Structure 1
Amino acid sequence: MRFKSLLSIVEVNQTDNDLKIAIDLCSEINAQLSVMVFAVASLPPIGDYPIGTADVWVKERQRDLAVLKGRVEDVEMLVRDVDISAAITDEYPELARIGHIVGRYARYADATIIGPDLLTNEALKAKVIDGALFESGRPILLIPHGTKPTLRPKRVLLAWDSGVECTRAAREALDIMASAEEVHVTMVDPDTSSIANGPEPGADIAAYLSHHGINVDVDRLPSGGQSIADVLKQHATDISADLIVMGGYGHSRTREWIVGGVTRSIVDDSNLPVLMAR
């Protein structure tokens, strides 16, 4: 699909780094930017707390909201100086509700950008990815530290196992892959049974992508005792890929983020930007 709107998630104490990345990506593809600035609200005192605790909590909320308001004003000034359309909103949810709030906003964007500052925030990363990936039906773009994100990549690695999740990811990334010089459909230890990939793993998806004008190579790789995630990351480096496209495996249960091993490894330690969908 063609990306015309991107969502950036900004925690109130973050630097401008993630936001500037989102602005650059929107400028690159002439997309609208939505920014959700949020602060985490503390739970109200309950039970037999000492007298005066409620007053302390109220004052803390007032301070938090004032800081949040100031951060929104800073963001508004930053986007005002760039030539893109932007909309900024703010939220003050409790920690348990962050995923739900992010998911609600993500439904109305073509993709959610999760930048390096947020990815290194261990307290919030899982909550934000939980909502953006599992509650929106939209893809996410993960941008680790030290990478150069682009939505007009020259080379793309499409991690493929014939599953529904990677099929969805391929569909979401069609326009991106169509503009690339090369797309490498990459399979690790592919199953050649008829119920999985058949005798020529990757041929079906290669034909589908070719019908969309995409220049495709199929790479079937042995794991050689390494993890699938490590093989994919190394191959992405070997082919000088600019972007990894893959399915996000797992589900959200009782506000816990539960994902498959490859998904978890790529999220926690990727050497490239990753477009992920499920």
Structure 2
Amino acid sequence: MAFKTVLSVTGADHSDQDVRTAASLCAEVGADLSVLVIRSATRPPMGDGIPVWPEQRAQDMARLENRSRQIERLSQGMARLEKQSREIQALLGTMRLSYDVDTDYCDHASVGDVVRQRALCADLTIVGPALLNDSDLGPLVMNGSLFETGKPVLVVPKGAEATLWPQRVLVGWDSRVEASRAVREALDLLSHAKEVRVTLVDPEPTYNGNGAEPGADITAYLARHGVRVVVDRLPSAGQSIDTVLAQHAIDTSADMIVMGAYGHRRLRERIFGGVARWILEKPPLPLFLAR
């Protein structure tokens, strides 16, 4: 499918690099850019009353002082949020681009739902370097955009040459529904690539899985869509599948990796952490994920 609306989520304290990356990708394919500037905060405690008993006075005064400090932090956070929004609008105003900028100040537990609402009406969410390196906000955005919507996410690490017209793409394939959905969501960019390598690690011929010839079915599917595709079957040799795919992407000069994101709730933090480790341990390479 073609990408017509792209969502970029950024923190109020982040630089404008993630927005610049998303804007460049939108300009490349003629998509509209929707920017969400978000700040999370702990919800102030409610229910403080007027002191009744003398022995409660010290405790209640401490609560009131704490409430005052929280309100002050809230005011400062809103000011930073508004400042970041104005700066982003000024930046995008200099580009020939259709865009909108929205802000949201919410408690930590609501971040995922706030992002989910925006991502439901976008074709693709971009997770840029600043968000990727934000261990607090990053996983919440990933959960809301990827796991709660079924929409794809493009992770763009620092230093990566991001494009939605990649020339060489590696597809991690294992005959699971998540991998199939990733291929379907990436079909438009795959059909324009010069080379797509469907890569299987330790594939086993099975009747209800990979089939008699692992990779043959997905290769035929892609070929019918005009994709220039070859299949690679690789041994793991005791290494993790992620490591094998990463090395093969390097060896084949891939511009992007497309793969399914697997995640029971307890694994979501590990998936985001795995993406972050990817950036630290391997050369920067955009990662297209779908669930």
Same fold (TM over 0.5): yes
Q: Does 1:171 align with 2:171?
A: no
1:257 is matched with: 268
1:99 is matched with: 112
Q: Is 48-57 or 216-225 further displaced after alignment?
A: 48-57
User: Letter of the aligned partner of 1:269 in structure 2?
Assistant: W
| Residues 154-193 of structure 1 aligned to structure 2 (within 5 Å) | 154-193=167-206
| Residues 1-278 of structure 1 aligned to structure 2 (within 5 Å) | 1-45=1-45, 50=62, 51-252=64-265, 257=268, 265-270=274-279, 271-278=284-291
Q: Secondary structure at the match of 2:122?
A: coil
Q: Secondary structure at the match of 2:233?
A: strand
2:54 is matched with: none
Contact 1:112–1:140 (Cα < 8 Å) also in 2:
yes
Contact 2:133–2:276 (Cα < 8 Å) also in 1:
no
In structure 1, distance between residues paired with 2:70 and 2:166: 48
Q: Report the CA distance shift for 1:264/1:202 in structure 2 as closer, same or farther (over 3 A).
A: farther
Higher helix fraction (1 or 2): 2
Deviation at 1:230, TM superposition (A): 0.3
In structure 1, distance between residues paired with 2:241 and 2:160: 21
Q: Secondary structure at the match of 1:87?
A: strand
Deviation at 1:39, TM superposition (A): 1.1
Q: Secondary structure at the match of 2:248?
A: helix
In structure 2, distance between residues paired with 1:27 and 1:162: 34
User: Letter of the aligned partner of 1:19 in structure 2?
Assistant: V
Q: Secondary structure at the match of 1:52?
A: helix
In structure 1, distance between residues paired with 2:229 and 2:257: 14
In structure 2, distance between residues paired with 1:264 and 1:41: 22
Deviation at 1:259, TM superposition (A): 5.5
Q: Secondary structure at the match of 2:230?
A: strand
Between Structure 1 and Structure 2, whose CA radius of gyration is higher?
Answer: 2
Deviation at 1:115, TM superposition (A): 0.2
- Displaced runs of 4 or more, over 2 A: 45-49, 256-260, 263-268
In structure 1, distance between residues paired with 2:71 and 2:240: 50
TM-score, with length taken from structure 2:
0.90
In structure 2, distance between residues paired with 1:205 and 1:259: 28
CA distances 1:106-143 after superposition (whole Å, capped 9, x unpaired): 11110000001110111122111111111122100001
User: Letter of the aligned partner of 2:6 in structure 1?
Assistant: L
Contact 1:152–1:179 (Cα < 8 Å) also in 2:
yes
TM-score, with length taken from structure 1:
0.94
Contact 2:13–2:80 (Cα < 8 Å) also in 1:
no
User: Letter of the aligned partner of 2:277 in structure 1?
Assistant: D
User: Letter of the aligned partner of 2:286 in structure 1?
Assistant: P
Alignment gaps of 5+ in structure 2:
49-58
- RMSD over equivalenced CA pairs, Å: 1.6
In structure 2, distance between residues paired with 1:75 and 1:146: 21
Q: Secondary structure at the match of 1:122?
A: coil
User: Letter of the aligned partner of 2:215 in structure 1?
Assistant: G
Residue identity over aligned pairs, in percent, reads 43
Q: How many residues align?
A: 274
Q: Secondary structure at the match of 2:125?
A: strand
